[in-house]
Chains A and B, each alone.
Chain A
């Protein structure tokens, strides 16, 4: 059976690439600390020696649109082009070409549908910064095949938070039962409190530092009971109007397991939004 080499949850910050590669007067004052934290975080994936990456993110109205909006979608393609013109324009992100892992995609689709998730699929998917940002931070060589999993955290009506948790739990179980000897890292990115296009955007901190503090504690300790008790589709508007991205963190809490402490936790208080990084090494992963 496959080995879950690591479960990794992270914020995805489209400004990291430009901040980390800029020099001289263009380099922001927080860049060096940010790069140091990312390089330490990267080691938690490198040391897990993965062969394939399941990447959970959310399309930001790039390929998926309101005339045909899936709630949960898995890509099944031999390759994925990545990043879009408006991400080059706003964030300076590079165009990328990623290799897919069609066997694992096909397996997760078949078994996931049979497990009760009516998953959408795509055979031609251009992926965006919700998946390329964690590749840039965690695996900049982008040399491993991926399975992209997209969730709708963006366009109401969205699935309930508990459904994200259940999908994460199911992905973990399915990967563990995948009949190969591959080492699979399950990586998902979301947001803590976040405001986009509203009065609280681009402040000196995230829009709701108290929510962020609680959220980091829930994730780091695997406290799904508290997260599910205090988070609802309605409540997530309160910390910031783009905070539904936290449901991707809840998916990763489902993948990591209820009550399971993260083996690695870090965060960085930036303007606009707080960064947070978590890694779990499942039992038997033989990671560092």
Chain B
């Protein structure tokens, strides 16, 4: 499990308008690029000082590459980060306000408390 890295992906994509569009249009190649080039960037350090050990698990990589927010929830990705980014990705495709958010809830309906642990 590398919940931290999944959260880092969601966080760094969500804060960048160009990356939001890139991830929407081509999720798999965005995830491949990000894991190769960005995953080990320490956000508040000089770019020359990188981590060396951060990789996704196969399940995490596949969930991100397929926009699978249900699996991300089940893997313990942070609920706020996932929701915020996926609203940015897909709310625009729904005719009614909050329709995407309600579908999101419905797709998680089999879950009751306790939810998967989001602690990192």
Contact = CB atoms under 8 A, between A and B. Distances in A.
B88 A90 contact: yes
A202 interface: yes
Interface stretch (B22-30, B31-39, B56-64, B100-108): B100-108
Contacts of A198: 73, 79, 105, 108, 111, 115
A238 B113 contact: yes
Contacts of B82: 197
Given A67-B44, A156-B119, A157-B119, A197 B4 contact: no
Given A84-B15, A85-B17, A155-B120, A61 B109 contact: no
Contact of B80 (A65, A200, A237, A242): A242
B15 A200 contact: no
A10 interface: no
B84 interface: yes
A238 to B, nearest CB: 6
Contact of B118 (A156, A200, A238): A156
Majority SS at the chain A contact face: loop
B43 interface: yes
A201 B101 contact: yes
B53 to A, nearest CB: 14
Contacts of B101: 201-202
Contacts of A238: 113
A61 B12 CA distance: 10
B109 A199 contact: yes
B105 A61 contact: no
A60 B105 CA distance: 21
B73 to A, nearest CB: 7
Interface string B1-26: 00010011001001101000000000
Interface in A30-88: 60-62, 65-68, 84-86
A203 B42 CA distance: 38
B95 interface: no
B42 A67 contact: yes
Contact of A65 (B11, B88, B113): B11
- Name B's interface SS: helix
Interface residues of A, number: 30
B14 A86 contact: yes
A121 to B, nearest CB: 15
Interface string A81-122: 000111001100000000000000000000000000000000
Interface in A150-201: 154-157, 195-201
A156 B4 CA distance: 12
Contacts of A202: 98, 101-102, 105
A85 B15 contact: yes
Contacts of A241: 79, 115
Interface string A119-144: 00000000000000000000000000
Contacts of B115: 198, 237, 241
Interface string B82-95: 11100110000000
Interface of A: 60-62, 65-68, 84-86, 89-90, 154-157, 195-203, 237-238, 241-242, 271
Given A67-B42, A195-B105, 15 more contacts: A62-B15, A65-B43, A67-B44, A156-B119, A196-B79, A197-B69, A198-B108, A198-B115, A200-B105, A201-B101, A202-B101, A203-B105, A237-B113, A242-B79, A242-B80
6 contacts: A62-B15, A84-B15, A156-B119, A197-B81, A201-B105, A238-B113
